[in-house]
Copies of this chain bind each other. A is one copy, B any other.
C-alpha cells in the first residue's frame, strides 16, 4: 500500500487527508500464485485490483485460441481502472509471478473519487499513463524490428520499476519466461531467443532466470529509439 502511495506521490502531490483516505479505504489483500487468473475476461467485476507486488499480464485470446499479451502490470499499478466503468474487462489478468493484490469494491472506489477530486485525478492518471504505454508499444510493434522491440521492453521496465524502487544497481526481477516475453513482443520464442542473444552479445542487457540487468542504458535507448517522455515520470502540473 505504501509503495502505491509513494508512486502516486511521484507524479502528483497528494494531501495528507487524501493519503489517509486511500490507506483507510478498506483494501482487502489477496495472494495469487504464478499462472493464476486474477481477473477473467468478460466476468462481471465488482472489485478493483491494485498490484502490490509481482508481475501480471493482460492477455487476450482471438477466436482461434491464440494468446497475446497486450500489457504488463508491475507493483503499484491499478490493474483494472476501466473495469470500474465497463463492469468487466476484455482481457484476462494473469499472475506472471507470485502476486500480492489489494482489492477494493467498486462502490468504495467511486466513493473515493467523489470525496476527493485529487484522488479521482490520480486514478485517471493511471489510465492515461497506461494509454501512453500501449501507444508506445503499438509504435514498437509496428515500426521496430525484433531486437529493437525487445530493447524497448527493457528500457520501459527499467524505468517503470525504478519508479517504485524495484530496479536498482543490481538490476531488476523480470519473471517472464521467454515464451511469455515472445507472446508480448509478437514473435516466436525462437526468434525472441535470437534477439536476446544479440542484446547479450552487444553487452547491453543480461537476462537470466527471471533477473534482468541493463548494462548500457544509453546504448539500449539508441537501439530502441526510445524516448521516455511517454512514461510521465515527473510531477504532472496542472
Using a CB–CB cutoff of 8 Å, the interface residues on chain A facing chain B are 42, 58, 60, 62-64, 66, 68, 70-71, 82, 85-87, 90-91, 121, 124-125, 127-128, 130-132, 134-139, 141-144, 183-186, 225-227, 229-230, 232, 236-238
Contact B139 A86 (CB under 8 A): no
- Tell me the nearest residue of chain B to A231, going by C-beta: B90
What residues on B are CB-neighbors of A238 within 8 Å? Answer: 87
Number of copies: 2
Q: Please pick, from B63, B131, B186, the residue contacting A142 in the complex, using a CB distance under 8 A.
A: B186
Q: Look across to chain B and name the residue whose beta carbon is closest to the beta carbon of A152.
A: B62
A197–chain B nearest beta-carbon distance, Å: 21
Q: How far is the CA of A71 from the CA of B68 in the complex (A)?
A: 19
For A85, what are the chain B residues with a Cβ–Cβ distance below 8 Å?
A: 121, 124-125, 127-128
- The reply to whether B128 and A86 contact each other, CB–CB distance below 8 Å, is yes
Besides A62-B227, A70-B142, A85-B127, 15 other CB < 8 A contacts?
Answer: A60-B135, A63-B225, A63-B227, A82-B127, A85-B124, A86-B125, A90-B132, A91-B135, A127-B131, A131-B131, A131-B134, A137-B138, A141-B142, A142-B183, A142-B186
Instruction: List 24 A-B pairs, Cβ < 8 Å.
Output: A42-B229, A60-B139, A66-B225, A68-B138, A68-B142, A70-B138, A70-B139, A71-B138, A82-B127, A85-B121, A85-B124, A86-B128, A90-B135, A90-B136, A90-B229, A90-B230, A91-B135, A131-B131, A131-B134, A134-B135, A134-B138, A141-B142, A141-B186, A142-B184
Query: Most chain-B Cβ atoms within 10 A of its Cβ — which of A85, A230, A232?
Result: A85
Interface-central residue, A58, A82, A185, A232, by most chain B CB under 10 Å: A82
Residues of chain B contacted by A136 (CB below 8 angstroms): 60, 90
